[in-house]
Structure 1
Amino acid sequence: MLWHAIAPVRRYTKVSHDVMRHPRLNSDAKVLISYVQGLPEGEQGDRALSEHAREVGIKGRRYQTAKEQLVVNGFVHEHKAPGARGLWATHQLFSNVPLSDADALVVWREAGVGADAGGGTEPAPSAQLPTVGQPRARSVGHQLPVDEELGENSFRPPTQAAHSEAASEELSPEEVEVERVLLSLRECRRDLRLGVAEARSLIAPAVEWLRRGVSGAELREVLSSGLPTGRVRSAVGFLRHRLVQKMPEAPAPAPVPAPAPAPVPAPVSEPAPESVSVPEPAPPALPDAPPVPPRVAPLVTCEGPGNEHVFRAYGGATLCPDCQQAAAWARWAERRAADLGVDLAEDAAKAVEAGRDPDGWRSRLAAAAAVAAAEGVGEQ
Structure 2
Amino acid sequence: MAVQNPNVPSRAQARPAGNKHHPHTRGLQHHNTRHTARFTVIGNHLAQHRELSLLAIGLGTHLQSLPKGAPADIRTLAARFPEGVTRIAAALRELEAHGYLRRERHRTPSGRIVTRTTSCNQPATPCRPVEASSPPPPTAAPRTPEPRSPRKALPDVPRPAYPAPAALQEAVDLLSGLRRHDPHLLLSATDTAHLAPGVVAWLEREVGPAAVRHALIADLPPEGLRRPAAFLAHRLTAQLPPPPPFRAPAAPTPVRHPVQNCDGCDRGFRAAGPGRCRDCRTDHREVA
When normalised by structure 2's length, the TM-score is 0.35
Q: Which has the larger radius of gyration?
A: 1
Structure with higher RCO (Cα < 8 A, 6+ apart): 2
Indicate the structure with greater helix content.
1
